[in-house]
Structures are given as structure tokens and as C-alpha cells.
Amino acid sequence: MTDRDGHLTGVILVLKDVTEHRQVEELKSGLISTVSHELKTPLTSIRMAIHCCWKKKIGPLTEKQVELLLAAREDSDLLHHILANLLDISRIESGHVQMAFQSISPMLW
């Protein structure tokens, strides 16, 4: 706060309890981590089954079956990347990852 001449006469300080917000954030991070880990195990089995079928380890495939397996493989790869990113975010937020910063040159387009 200032007076009419612009001299500082006081300060207003606003405090807010962020405990609940922090607890919600910790719960969210824990949930994301747990769900990601729990989804990763069955997704790995699904990806292995798709790979074995696609490599014809269990017999020949029709053209339509190959097409369906390729679509399933692409979707399972996408889910794998999403889960990996969620786990990375969870690790970063929890402080379990050491960041290694380095200078790089900007790319010119």
C-alpha cells in the first residue's frame, strides 16, 4: 500500500492453505502411477500374443487376419507409448527421476 505521495506505507499479505490441493495432487499422481503399472502387465501379454500371431508362429493367416493384427499392433503400440509417458510423468512428479539439463543449439527450419 502507498500513501498519496507514492511512499510505501504497508503490505497486504494473503495466505492460502494449499494442503488439500497438495493431497489431491498426490492422490492423482499415485492413481496414475498405479493404473499405468496395472495396465502395463496385461498390455504386454496382448502385445506378445499379437506378435506371435503376426509372425505366424501358430499357423498361417488370411489377408484379413493380417490386416486386423496390424491394426491391433498399432493400437497396442499407441497404448504402450501412452502408458510409458504417464509413468515418466509420474516419476518426474514424484522426484524419482534426476533431470539432466544440457544446452543445445536451436534448429533452423
Which grid coordinates are listed for 26?
498426490
Q: Tens digit of pLDDT for each residue in 5-57?
A: 888 888 888 888 889 988 888 888 888 888 888 899 999 999 999 988 888 77
The amino acid present at 2, given as its one-letter code, is T
**Grid coordinates 487376419 are at which residue?**
65
59 pLDDT higher than 80: yes
**DSSP letter, residue 4:** T
Which grid coordinates are listed for 77?
503400440
Q: What is the DSSP string of 33-54?
A: HHHHHHHHHHHHHHHHHHHHHH
87 pLDDT higher than 90: no
